[in-house]
Amino acid sequence: ETGSDLVELYDVIADPGEMHNLRDSQPAIVQELREQLRTLQRQADAASVMAGRVANQDDPQLRRRLRALGYLE
């Protein structure tokens, strides 16, 4: 985030052209979505760390399985 002017919230059903930013009139929704995004970012970071740990294990069978599933190159 570099400023509140980058936050956009639209009702794409009522405003398919995204002409009316609801950011200022719906601050509770904006806050809830920010919290959900932070949670997703933390989960993605944790998953990345875990994947790195798993990938660095010296278990040939595990590495073959992960490679077959597309998790490793």
Residues 9-62: pLDDT tens digits? 999 999 999 999 999 999 999 999 999 999 998 888 887 777 766 666 677 888
Q: Which amino acid is at 30?
A: V
Higher pLDDT, 71 or 26: 26
Higher pLDDT, 2 or 16: 16
Higher pLDDT, 36 or 3: 36
- The sign of the dihedral angle between the CA atoms of 68, 71, 72, 73 is positive
